[in-house]
């Protein structure tokens, strides 16, 4: 593997940063300690620091020592943790108190932040490129759309770039491997809530009421026909009801039942179809049963779609670091989602997966057993550095 030597030298230092961040997890828009740490390191490397976009967002700006003709690119890492209580026992396990209580870096954003810092350190030392790199450290990737907020607050007006690049670790793929494809990599993510209202009654006398439980159950079943009967079988669609709330007693039929969940799709047309069909089925079933329904459907993240030219550039940088045999150019997309999608809606760019080693012992993303693999740190940092040196040629 062609890890950059200088980056390999400070792998132990990067592992220390990563473990420090891991130990102090912060969730959406509360990444204050993490942002302080990122800003202090960038500053120490001699990189211009800008703070405040989306609250805790940090952007570092570095010029190369060659004439880039005004060219610039953005590299993005995410800083937030999850509301998960860690079960690992190692020394750098999450501090479970104060603002860190019940939180954990279970998605490896501690590693992502560290790898981009590692690349920043190397690039600030060498400046072996022409043009400008913006190191973008975003808050709130999980659920709350910190990337969207940065874009809305003028990220690319303040820091104009021709393209933006993102990276995510992938447990179960070997360290030193990458996977990337043009087109969709990850799905659009929507949420829904349906409040079914019937007429509450005695559990022994259902004829005196309108049963919201039975009605809601039919709505759930009806929705499951959307992916099998309505959308094109060649287009991916997932509808998952993840919560059913209703009732408190053994012998009372409740007046209301609330259904919540998520949908996933890759194309806006499919997303439209899912929403329309969900509303039609919920309203139709409830009307047939003599109940009523109030439905909320909210679009959260669009699909993460890589542009063709930038995917070639990213794949070439990955091949430079890992060798062609270790770069999968046609991975199966996943129905997971990413708020880097908002940056890719604003600018061309590419999102790549990087192997994080074995996922044995349940070391999967969002598991309380997860830990980012420190051996992957120099791989990701070298990828970022190579990407900059190859795109922004002097």
Tell me how far, at minimum, the Cβ of 77 lies from Zn ion, in Å: 10
Stretch in the footprint of Zn ion (CB under 5 A) among 55-63, 107-115, 263-271, 315-323: 107-115
Burial of 234: CB neighbours in 10 Å, binned 0-12, 13-18, 19+: exposed
What binding mask, one character per residue, do residues 337-376 give for Zn ion by CB under 5 A, x or -? ----------------------------------------
Total residues at interface with Zn ion (CB under 5 A): 1
| Number of neighbouring beta carbons within 10 Å of residue 366 | 12
Stretch in the footprint of Zn ion (CB under 5 A) among 103-111, 171-179, 257-265, 272-280: 103-111
What tokens appear for 290 in the block?
Answer: 């003599």
**Chain residues 317-336 in contact with Zn ion, contact rule CB under 5 A:** none
Nearer to Zn ion, 53 or 77 (CB): 77
Nearer to Zn ion, 187 or 216 (CB): 187
Nearer to Zn ion, 129 or 165 (CB): 165
Tell me how far, at minimum, the Cβ of 339 lies from Zn ion, in Å: 9
How many Cα atoms occupy the beta-carbon half-sphere of 7 within 13 Å? 29
| Residues 62, 66, 69, 72, CA torsion sign | negative
Nearer to Zn ion, 142 or 211 (CB): 142
Residue 125: strand, helix, or coil: helix
Among 107, 219, 253, 274, binds Zn ion (CB under 5 A): 107
Nearer to Zn ion, 256 or 367 (CB): 367
Report whether 129 contacts 393 (CB < 8 A).
Answer: yes
Tell me how far, at minimum, the Cβ of 84 lies from Zn ion, in Å: 10
Q: What is the largest CA-CA distance in the chain?
A: 82
Q: Alpha-carbon distance 293 to 196, whole Å?
A: 5
Residues in CB range of 46: below 8 A, 6 or more apart: 124
Q: How far is CA 192 from CA 51, 180, 294, 372, in A?
A: 34, 30, 11, 32
Nearer to Zn ion, 38 or 107 (CB): 107
Nearer to Zn ion, 110 or 211 (CB): 110
Q: Alpha-carbon distance 371 to 117, whole Å?
A: 19
Residue with CB nearest Zn ion?
Answer: 107
Parallel, antiparallel or unpaired: strands 72-78 and 132-138: parallel
At residue 185, φ and ψ (nearest 5 deg) are -105, -40
Q: Is 150 in the site for Zn ion (CB under 5 A)?
A: no
Stretch in the footprint of Zn ion (CB under 5 A) among 42-50, 83-91, 101-109, 212-220: 101-109
Stretch in the footprint of Zn ion (CB under 5 A) among 18-26, 100-108, 177-185, 382-390: 100-108
Nearer to Zn ion, 107 or 350 (CB): 107
Tell me how far, at minimum, the Cβ of 70 lies from Zn ion, in Å: 33
Tell me how far, at minimum, the Cβ of 78 lies from Zn ion, in Å: 6
Residues in CB range of 166: below 8 A, 6 or more apart: 75, 76, 338, 340, 343, 344, 349, 350, 351, 352
Interaction site with Zn ion (CB under 5 A): 107
């Amino acid at each position: 593997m062609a890890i950059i030597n200088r980056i390999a030298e400070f792998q132990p230092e990067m592992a220390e940063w990563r473990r420090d961040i891991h130990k102090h997890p912060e969730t959406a828009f509360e990444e204050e300690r993490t942002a302080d740490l990122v800003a202090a390191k960038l500053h120490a490397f001699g990189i211009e620091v800008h703070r405040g976009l989306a609250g805790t967002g940090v952007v570092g700006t570095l010029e190369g020592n060659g004439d880039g003709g005004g060219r610039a690119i953005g590299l993005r890492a995410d800083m937030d943790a999850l509301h998960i209580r860690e079960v690992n026992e190692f020394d750098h396990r999450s501090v479970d108190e104060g603002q860190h209580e019940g939180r954990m870096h279970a998605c490896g954003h501690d590693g992502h932040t560290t790898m981009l810092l590692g690349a920043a350190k190397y690039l600030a030392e060498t400046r072996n490129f022409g043009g400008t790199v913006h190191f973008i450290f975003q808050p709130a990737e999980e659920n709350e759309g910190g990337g969207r907020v940065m874009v809305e607050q003028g990220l690319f007006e303040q820091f104009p770039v021709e393209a933006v690049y993102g990276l995510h670790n992938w447990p179960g793929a070997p360290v030193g491997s990458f996977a990337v494809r043009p087109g969709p990599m990850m799905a659009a993510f929507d949420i829904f809530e349906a409040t079914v209202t019937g007429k509450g009654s005695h559990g022994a006398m259902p004829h005196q009421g309108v049963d919201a439980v039975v009605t809601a159950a039919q709505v759930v079943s009806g929705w499951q026909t959307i992916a099998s009967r309505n959308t094109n079988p060649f287009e991916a669609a997932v509808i998952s009801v993840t919560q059913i709330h209703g009732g408190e007693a053994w012998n009372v039929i409740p007046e209301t039942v609330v259904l919540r969940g998520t949908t996933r799709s890759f194309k806006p047309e499919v997303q439209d179809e899912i929403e329309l069909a969900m509303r039609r089925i919920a309203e139709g079933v409830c009307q047939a049963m003599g109940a009523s329904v109030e439905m909320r459907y909210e679009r959260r993240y669009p699909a993460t779609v890589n542009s063709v030219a930038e995917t070639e550039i990213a794949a070439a940088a990955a091949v430079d670091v890992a060798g062609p045999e270790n770069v999968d150019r046609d991975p199966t997309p996943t129905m997971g989602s990413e708020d880097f999608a908002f940056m890719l809606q604003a600018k061309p760019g590419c999102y790549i997966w990087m192997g994080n080693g074995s996922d044995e012992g349940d070391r999967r993303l969002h598991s309380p057993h997860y830990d980012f693999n420190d051996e992957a740190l120099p791989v990701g940092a070298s990828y970022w550095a190579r990407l900059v040196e190859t795109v922004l040629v002097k």
